[in-house]
Amino acid sequence: MKKLFLSMAAVALAFTACDNDKNEITQQQEVDMTDFYVFTDFNENEIAKSVNSKKSTKSCYTMNVLNKQLMDNPGLEKKMYDVEYHTRQFINAKGKPTGGGKPGGNGGGETDVDVLPIEDGLGTVNIPVYFHIVLPNANDVSNSQIQSQLNVLISDFNNPNTNQLPSGATNFVNDATNSNINFTLAGTARYNDNTASWGTNNAVKAAYPPITPQTHLNIWICNIGGGILGYAQFPGGNLSTDGVVLLHSSLPGGSAAPYNLGRTATHEVGHYLNLRHIWGDGRCKQDDFVVDTPSSDGANYGCPSFPTVNCSTTDMTMNYMDYTDDACMYMFTDGQRNRMRALFTSGGARATMAGN
């Protein structure tokens, strides 16, 4: 969503240095990784509060967990770089921007940048899901609640919901997408466990390990503590901790209003499928690596009025990767769709899940 003119200039200089090797030039043009980052070195909630006077009442801990994993596992940064490289290579080769900017990686930046959904030949991608319910009384989460959560995931990843957009949000109508990713119930395991809160150090996954994470999404439902709604692991991480952890009361019908419509799961599965927060976990110049999502300088909370303007563009506060209330988030973009689906293509980090 941003232009990095300086880095592009640096790449252009590199071309002149090796202009006798056209293949190398083409490769460099296709995959520009200069804006890639993994560490976020500040508390984005505090930034949002201090800069925008936005109330920080919602907390996803995915980026904090990632920072710790990067410190504990020196090889993780390279793995995530490789996942990103494959993603950009796929998008740049197949994507067709229609409003300016490059189809993948950095570039673009204006709210009217539009990309098309890539025809990847995969059709509907089905993700089978194992739920692990870990609570003092694991029956507190019913089978019908699990089915409702699954239905929310299916709906959110398959409906563009353009009818919910405010009338002035014409720039976003073409961005809202059907990701064509389906979810099916593989199984539900219940564990009565008196642990009061599990924190964010993956302890719940160590106690109750994932089931075939190569081919299945594992979701742990428990009490996390600290007011944290959930956290996910990005593709490229250790399989033993692969999956999503949700606060039990964030499920549809739970007590965590206004975060109890099941969209914590949608947001965290977005991370699991390689989406960053829409504001890029930094200020205006830090990117979420998606060209059709506008820049912002922090998270939005509550149910913002339209338009909410930051970084000289209108924020897409209704995107699932913002921090708004469950009822006020209802879209992924084509660019996010392409980024998620790149994982399932040949050589992608979750290709085995789609039988590739």
Task: Draw the binding track, 148-187, toward Zn ion (x: CB under 5 A; -: no contact).
Answer: ----------------------------------------
- What is the full DSSP assignment across 87-105? HHHHHHHH--BSSSS-SSS
> Stretches 27-35, 58-66, 81-89, 253-261: which one binds Zn ion (CB under 5 A)?
58-66
Displacement of CA 351 from its chain's centroid (Å): 17
Position with the least CB separation from Zn ion: 60
For the CB of residue 276, give the shortest distance to Zn ion in the complex, in Å: 8
Rounded CA-CA distance 19/33 in Å is 20
**Using the rule CB under 5 A, is 345 a contact of Zn ion?**
no
**Which CB atom, from 60 or from 290, has the smaller least distance to Zn ion?**
60
**Amino acid (1-letter code) at residue 263:** R
> Stretches 14-22, 61-69, 188-196, 243-251: which one binds Zn ion (CB under 5 A)?
61-69
**Which CB atom, from 101 or from 243, has the smaller least distance to Zn ion?**
243
For the CB of residue 2, give the shortest distance to Zn ion in the complex, in Å: 20
**Amino acid (1-letter code) at residue 21:** D
For the CB of residue 336, give the shortest distance to Zn ion in the complex, in Å: 13
Q: Within a 13 Å sphere around the CA of 205, how many CA atoms are in the beta-carbon half?
A: 24
Task: Draw the binding track, 262-301, toward Zn ion (x: CB under 5 A; -: no contact).
Answer: ----------------------------------------
> Stretches 56-64, 202-210, 284-292, 295-303: which one binds Zn ion (CB under 5 A)?
56-64
- What is the full DSSP assignment across 28-65? HHH---TT------S-HHHHHHHHH-------B-HHHH
30 in catalytic set: no
**Using the rule CB under 5 A, is 62 a contact of Zn ion?**
yes
Tokens of 158: 């398959």
**Using the rule CB under 5 A, is 60 a contact of Zn ion?**
yes
Give Cβ neighbours of residue 188 (< 8 Å, ≥ 6 apart): 130, 131, 133, 143, 146
Rounded CA-CA distance 154/157 in Å is 5
**Which CB atom, from 62 or from 188, has the smaller least distance to Zn ion?**
62
Question: Which residue has tokens 């539900």?
Answer: 188
Instruction: Tell me which residues touch Zn ion (CB under 5 A).
Output: 60, 62
